[in-house]
Amino acid sequence: MNHTLSVIVEDKPGVLARVSSLLARRGFNIHSLAVGPSHEEGMSRMTIVVDAPEVEQVKKQLHKLVNVVRISEYDQSVAIEREIMLVRVAGGPGKRGEILEIAAIFDAIAVDVGHNSITFQIAGDPRKVNDFLELIRPYGLIELVKSGRVALAREPKGRPVRLRAVN
């Protein structure tokens, strides 16, 4: 079963390597991994989608690492998850209209058009990205790259919003 974890780590060299090697040594399959700066100075956020039957074991192992500050697990019902994909599709002049119609339904953007292919950019919920991919697959995939999944928890409903400036 896939679990989405948000891991706040110190922004130091080697932290990504330590986290990924720890998960690999323990036999956990990393389905997706995205790392970038956090809103906290000197910290990075890792969004890790890990395939593990028992996610508590994953969290315990991660907490043992010195540079790990905080771990949160996101349930799909309370998380906003996004991916971005670039995909080059075979699309000669006879099929372009059909391909562009499918792209329009999914809000995919044609970022490059060649004589025999179209490259699309699509961003959104991982299910949307995968659904688009499956519908254009029959036209012929030439190249494909997806980002790692990123996620944030939704704000609980019914609470007043307090915004705080982050310097």
Model confidence pLDDT, tens digit, residues 10-45? 999 999 999 999 999 888 899 999 999 999 999 999
Q: Which bin fits 124, alpha (ψ -120 to 50), beta or left (φ > 0)? A: left
Q: Give pLDDT tens digits for 49-69.
A: 998 888 898 899 899 998 999
pLDDT of residue 75: 86
Q: Whole-angstrom Cα distance, residue 6 to residue 55? A: 13
**Domain ranges across the chain:** 2-74, 80-151
Pairing of strands 2-10, 43-51: antiparallel
42/52 Cα distance (integer angstroms): 29
How far apart are the C-alpha atoms of 102 and 138, rounded to whole Å?
A: 12
Runs of H (alpha helix) within the chain: 15-25, 55-63, 96-105, 126-136
Check residue 104 and give left, alpha or beta (phi > 0: left; psi -120 to 50: alpha). Answer: alpha
Secondary structure (DSSP) of 113-132: E-SSEEEEEEEE-HHHHHHH
How many percent of the chain have pLDDT more than 70? Answer: 94
Q: Strand, coil or helix: what is 21?
A: helix
Superfamily of domain 2-74: ACT domain (3.30.70.260)
Q: Is the pLDDT of residue 98 over 70?
A: yes
Q: Which tokens hold the place of 67? A: 């540079």
Q: Is the pLDDT of residue 76 over 70?
A: yes
Does 3.30.70.1150 match the CATH number of domain 80-151? yes
Contact 30, 77 (CB under 8 A): no
Domains 2-74 and 80-151 share a fold: yes
